[in-house]
Structure 1
């Protein structure tokens, strides 16, 4: 087990699987775009997720779905900061889902506790790492690439990516054990790559703690005869249980209750 300090909060890794609830303040996210755009609606949904058992609320202001439209840092900040300021009042542990260091800085000033970076500190030539070090926050570092071609074994490519993340972190003075690894399901990967990574998650466990984010993603819909995102909760639960069996400590999901219950049962079997 590991106690991870998150500014004025703490999370405990290893005792049980933690549930990270997804809160997208976007008009175009693949599953819940436009549902929580106002501060009032965002806070209402955050309260619901906390009541259902979410341990962390992950707030994002720019969709990163395939084909997404990039927005300016200013617009992203305008979306997330008012929401963070209100959700902090609920006592929640908040992660900011961004790869832009100026957005991260604004989010931490507003009270966020954790960075969730889809480019694993590798997007901006070390600037994000400086922000992380300054605010002394944990990092969720996701594996990513711009295409789906892998010239070497996919898990070897992932390990090499994370080694680069660790090098950037070390240079900035960030402790390795404050970095949580995300295999990046659906990012630079097709359905076959996603399934292979899921089956081999245990191979990166010796590099660090793992967060898994499969919630409602396209590969689940494909397996289940092209059902729409809001009908993929049960398929997501399957990935949660498989992930826990392979060493995952945090799952990032839309459907809190279903995944919380599945994790509680899986933990009793696997962590006992």
Structure 2
């Protein structure tokens, strides 16, 4: 899943794709680089971000969704608002990526039940302006899994078909760096919810802090975190993650191809060893 931020204050690119023409061109380039899905968002969710009015979010995303869908690509809309999701689906979007998991807008789950469209439920504890104050966990993985389970149950009660539900552990959302690393190390517990998992680690601040300048302590800038993102992508792909949401599509596609091939070869080798061990004639 390639990322198109149609915002003036994106943490990852500083608003480089804010103009509709630039956003469409960027989305088309991501498809060319190998993205299966392009995710279009008109609201920044970086820590401390202020929400735009619904009318502004619609103005930002609809032309981009419409053009990318018309070009034949699978387009996702990244929104917490049911109105934006509905209008984007009408414009050709085929997936809704809701970072609030249906908590920000009570109309979202009923809309998705009617839409019968893939829907991403992310782990969420409040809007960007104050979410980091909610980064308080006992065991972060258990807490995130339990809260995601509640959102799955709410979605099913609303009538959303089980096959439409995807979960996202919400790296960076109301989480300190250590929480993110703990979640990455225990992704199989998230996958045990029985739903496909979307993972969004790309260029996030916990990577910047890990790679901080040893002399100054300054975190590495977001555009220079792609190699670290690719490392996360490789490790996540090896654990069977359904989809990786990234800014640098080309290197991620290469890395996932290598990971997939490595897995095939490793599996073949393991089976060959089992055959030799258990099926060879006795000496």
Pair in the same fold by TM > 0.5? yes
C-alpha separation in 1, matches of 2:39 and 2:237: 20
Shift of 1:158: 1.2
Q: Is the 8 A contact 1:25 1:33 kept in 2?
A: no
Which of 238, 242, 254 is the matching residue for 2:247?
Answer: 254
* TM-score relative to the length of structure 1: 0.89
Give 2:162's aligned residue: 176
C-alpha separation in 1, matches of 2:166 and 2:26: 25
State whether structure 2 residue 262 is matched by structure 1 residue 269: yes
Secondary structure of residue in 1 paired with 2:77? strand
Give 2:232's aligned residue: 239
State whether structure 2 residue 181 is matched by structure 1 residue 195: yes
C-alpha separation in 2, matches of 1:194 and 1:169: 25
Structure (1 or 2) with the greater strand fraction: 1
Give 1:167's aligned residue: 153
1:183-205 CA deviation, whole Å, 9 max, x = no partner?
A: 11100101100100000011121
Structure (1 or 2) with the greater helix fraction: 2
Unaligned runs of 5+ in 1: 1-19
Secondary structure of residue in 1 paired with 2:192? helix
Equivalenced residues, count: 251
Unaligned runs of 5+ in 2: 126-130, 213-218, 268-283
Quote the RMSD (CA, aligned, Å). Answer: 1.2
Shift of 1:245: 2.2
C-alpha separation in 2, matches of 1:163 and 1:249: 18
Runs of 4+ in 1 over 3 A off after TM superposition: none
Q: Is the 8 A contact 2:203 2:222 kept in 1?
A: yes
Which of 221, 226, 229 is the matching residue for 2:208?
Answer: 221
1:146-191 CA deviation, whole Å, 9 max, x = no partner?
A: 31111x3112211221122112211221122321111111001011
Q: How do 1:1-272 and structure 2 match up within 5 A?
A: 20-125=1-106, 127-145=107-125, 146=131, 147-150=134-137, 152-207=138-193, 208-225=195-212, 226-270=219-263
Higher gyration radius (CA): 2
